[in-house]
Amino acid sequence: MSPDTAPRPRMTRQRREILDALDTRDFRSAQSWHERLRSDGSTVGLATVYRALQALVDSGDVDSVVSESGETLYRRCEAGEEHHHHLRCRVCGKAVEIDVPEFEEFARHIGDAHGYGDIRHTIELTGVCPECAAAGRG
């Protein structure tokens, strides 16, 4: 019942650094982003990176996918909040955004046909990017 004043987030040095690091276009784990930040001179803590990434996912500024091994990978996307999917390199994480026009409607139909509600879908393509293939990392 309390007015519940919106708690506006503070702009801290750590959050600036994390946003800056996310400037690239790869899917990486929280730990990987943390390593990169540290190697770039930041002293940000791991827990802070996890918290910031989670917040960014919630606000729609960052996309996350769960890898085959169960790790969560994060990436700042070009499409903003718009719904889209990815073709991601399994080796280096580099991703391009794709869309699957026919599928969005198809998913709803399938759900209806089986009486399932609140349908969500996951579509991810993975492969080995040209660079990784050339480097024999495939």
Partner DNA sequence: CCCACTATTGATAATGATTGTCGAAATCAG
Partner DNA sequence: CTGATTTCGACAATCATTATCAATAGTGGG
Q: Which residues of the chain form contacts with Zn ion (CB under 5 A)?
A: 89, 91-92, 94, 129, 132
74 φ/ψ angles, rounded to the nearest 5 degrees: -125, 150
Q: Does 35 help bind a copy of itself (rule: CB under 8 A)? A: no
Strands 62-66 and 95-98: unpaired
Backbone region of residue 5 per phi and psi (left: phi > 0; alpha: psi in -120 to 50; beta: other values): beta
Which of these ranges, 5-13, 77-85, 90-98, 127-135, lies near DNA under the rule CB under 7 A? Answer: 5-13
Q: Which does 92 bind (CB under 5 to 8 A by kind): Zn ion, a copy of itself, DNA, none?
A: Zn ion
Identity of residue 109: H
Q: Quick check: 24 binds a copy of itself (CB under 8 A)?
A: no
Which token pair is 36?
């990169």
7 binds DNA (CB under 7 A): yes
User: Does 136 contact DNA by CB under 7 A?
Assistant: no
Task: Please report how many Cα atoms fall inside a 13 Å half-sphere around the Cα of residue 44, on the Cβ side.
Answer: 31
x/- binding map, residues 99-128, to a copy of itself, per CB under 8 A?
-x-xx--xx--xx--xxxxxxxxxxxxxxx
